[in-house]
Amino acid sequence: DADVTQTPRNRITKTGKRIMLECSQTKGHDRMYWYRQDPGLGLRLIYYSFDVKDINKGEISDGYSVSRQAQAKFSLSLESAIPNQTALYFCATSGWGGYTFGSGTRLTVV
Amino acid sequence: QQQVKQSPQSLIVQKGGISIINCAYENTAFDYFPWYQQFPGKGPALLIAIRPDVSEKKEGRFTISFNKSAKQFSLHIMDSQPGDSATYFCAASIRSGGATNKLIFGTGTLLAVQP
């Protein structure tokens, strides 16, 4: 099994719909992150969490929310999806050895 | 001040050549500078990282050069191979408690190594 698992891998949704992206990790790390990747813009931080009771906004948190259900689980929600949220989304954990990323969720909002 | 600027956006190198990707930062509090490699359909994976107390770190064909006074660091890929074709991201963070803190990423460089 992968260290960081993201579901779904691909998703097409309609404008205005609520959608949740899920992430689970087996690394035992406290720190988890959600990033968004867009061509030419690199990876931008949406939200991060340093433990179950700690949630922090990143540089592009508007339109997104997160939930840290357990040390191993960190989900990202789009309350009302819009087309410019079409992107590749990555979950990651960090510890002594740096970041471990999931394989990503490709989200398309039509 | 939180930005990390990366160049070039894309790079084409012949097999056996040297690939060079550059990054610059502003925040002097950054103390950890990793490079990540990403293949299509995969998440980024840590390639090599450096702390600001050294000027160079080498792992196999990959070398990071770090210039603290200029606030710049670069990735050199020696003897570039077609299998090195990928997107490369530089990043920076302030480590706390020994663990990696939130990373600020550059915009990425798409490297194509031609056979």
Q: Which residues contact B96 (CB under 8 A, 6 or more apart)?
A: none
DSSP letter, residue A5: E
Q: Would you call B82 helix, strand, or coil by DSSP? A: helix
pLDDT at position B98: 59
pLDDT at position A98: 82
Mutate to test the interface with B, among A5, A32, A33, A43 (most CBs of B within 10 A): A43
pLDDT at position A87: 97
pLDDT at position B100: 59
Element (H, E) at A38: strand A31-38
Mutate to test the interface with A, among B48, B50, B59, B103 (most CBs of A within 10 A): B103
Residue-wise pLDDT tens digits, B2-56 = 689 999 999 999 999 999 999 999 999 899 999 999 999 999 999 999 998 999 9
Residues of chain A with pLDDT under 50: none
The amino acid present at B58, given as its one-letter code, is K
Residue-wise pLDDT tens digits, B68-79 = 999 999 999 999
pLDDT at position B2: 67
pLDDT at position A97: 74
DSSP letter, residue A8: -
Q: Which residues of A touch B98 (CB under 8 A)?
A: 96
Got the DSSP string for A41-103?
A: TEEEEEEEEEETTEEEE-TT-TTEEEEEEETTEEEEEESS--GGG-EEEEEEEEETTEEEE--
CA B86 to each of CA A13, A73, A100, B102, B108: distance values in angstroms, whole numbers, following the listed order: 29, 29, 18, 23, 10
pLDDT at position A40: 87
pLDDT at position A73: 97
